């Protein structure tokens, strides 16, 4: 897919922000002071780490940045798409209240060979929570990035049902089954572009902000242990046991790597390399770094902690660059 050249307006008129795995184009907010601007935001995958994007958006909007254009891969597509509907506050309240057992109940086993879960249950819950929208009717320009299973091509989804596009973009291999979108079978967009800045390059912007969910590993305090999963039906308990086995950031002294450990580590290594190349190619003005060991892929019950982390790192990144 050819990448157009980014156009830039004179500084001081409007500023645009790009954030990893989503891209936002912003315009001035009334009564917001000198920080008001026009931004593009590019945001990427990372499983539960993608909840940090909520904190990034919160900090930006609270500091006068009016997001007008979004492009996202995987969790970036989910958070960015919901923001485009003006319902991010509703989603934030819902996801912040999730407990581990509730996360398990959102998983619908596929009983097949193309993925563990169908993803229909979580998308159905989100449709009821947020409502369904046509992408072309959203008040904010939105692009969800996915990967074509057959050709390996990067696919930009800019029309049709919002949650169909999001479902295609979050189809993490092995975890969710591929999603049939028209004539294409789609996988997670972060496989080919974890930092989708290119879809927004035709937007007129002055400032590009990238949120890197594959930031350097940091030593952070261990979270409080989660409550144990209560007794229930046998299959649900097996799903819970599988969830427990996905703790990539808590390797034992002598780790025994299973098939999912190896698959996730391989995908993460690939995506980290692609992200570095994309960031080098597009040279964002501000990069917000989220440590790649901030949480496990599946730890959505840590939403409050991750949202706070996104806010903290955004404030630090803007302070460090003087924007």
Report the distance separating Cα 254 and Cα 239, nearest Å.
25
| Residue 7 per-residue DSSP state | B
Give yes or no for a contact between 252 and 265, defined as CB atoms under 8 angstroms apart.
Answer: no
Secondary structure element (H or E) that encloses residue 185, with its range: strand 184-188
Report the distance separating Cα 33 and Cα 154, nearest Å.
39
Give yes or no for a contact between 285 and 202, defined as CB atoms under 8 angstroms apart.
Answer: no
Does 188 qualify as catalytic in the annotation? yes
| Residue 46 per-residue DSSP state | -
Return the closest-CA partner of residue 39 out of 56, 15, 58: 15
Put residue 157 in one of left, alpha, beta given phi > 0 → left and psi -120 to 50 → alpha.
beta
Structure-block tokens of residue 15: 């500023």
**Count of beta carbons in the 10 Å neighbourhood of residue 110:** 16
Can you state the angle between helices 75-84 and 120-130, rounded to 10 degrees? 20
Catalytic residue among 74, 141, 169, 214: 74
Does 285 qualify as catalytic in the annotation? no
**CA dist list (Å): 117 to 45, 235, 305:** 18, 13, 26
Report the distance separating Cα 61 and Cα 102, nearest Å.
30
Return the closest-CA partner of residue 210 out of 278, 151, 144: 278
Query: First and final CA of the chain: distance in angstroms?
Result: 31
Kindly give, in sequence order, each residue whose CB lies less than 8 Å from that of residue 296, ignoring residues fewer than 6 positions away.
47, 48, 246, 247, 248, 249, 250
Report the distance separating Cα 251 and Cα 254, nearest Å.
8
Q: Which residues are catalytic?
A: 74, 188
């Amino acid at each position: 897919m050819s990448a157009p050249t980014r156009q830039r307006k004179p500084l001081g008129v409007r500023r645009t922000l790009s954030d990893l795995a989503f891209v936002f184009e912003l315009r001035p907010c009334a009564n917001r002071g000198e920080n008001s601007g026009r931004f593009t935001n590019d945001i990427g995958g990372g499983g539960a780490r993608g909840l940090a994007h909520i904190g990034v958006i919160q900090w930006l909007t609270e500091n006068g940045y009016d997001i007008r254009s979004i492009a996202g891969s995987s969790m970036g597509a989910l958070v960015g798409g919901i923001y485009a509907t003006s319902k991010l506050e509703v989603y934030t309240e819902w996801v912040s209240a999730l407990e581990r057992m509730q996360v398990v109940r959102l998983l619908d086993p596929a009983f097949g060979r193309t993925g563990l879960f169908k993803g229909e249950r979580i998308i159905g819950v989100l449709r009821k929570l947020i409502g369904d929208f046509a992408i072309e009717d959203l008040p904010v320009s939105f692009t969800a990035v996915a990967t074509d299973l057959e050709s390996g091509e990067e696919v930009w989804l800019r029309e049709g049902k919002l949650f169909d596009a999001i479902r295609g973009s979050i189809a993490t291999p092995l975890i969710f089954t591929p999603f049939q979108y028209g004539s294409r079978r789609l996988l997670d967009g972060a496989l080919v572009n974890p930092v989708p800045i290119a879809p927004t390059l035709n937007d007129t912007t002055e400032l590009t902000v990238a949120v890197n969910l594959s930031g350097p590993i940091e030593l952070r305090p261990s979270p409080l242990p989660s409550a144990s999963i209560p007794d229930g039906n046998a299959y649900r308990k097996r799903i819970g046991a599988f969830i427990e086995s996905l703790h990539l950031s808590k390797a034992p002294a002598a780790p025994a790597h299973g098939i999912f450990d190896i698959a996730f580590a391989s995908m993460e290594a690939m995506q980290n390399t692609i992200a570095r190349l994309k960031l080098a190619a597009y040279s964002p003005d501000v990069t917000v770094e989220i440590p790649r060991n901030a949480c496990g892929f599946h730890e959505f019950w840590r939403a409050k902690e991750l949202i706070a982390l996104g806010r903290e790192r955004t404030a630090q990144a803007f302070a460090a660059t003087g924007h």
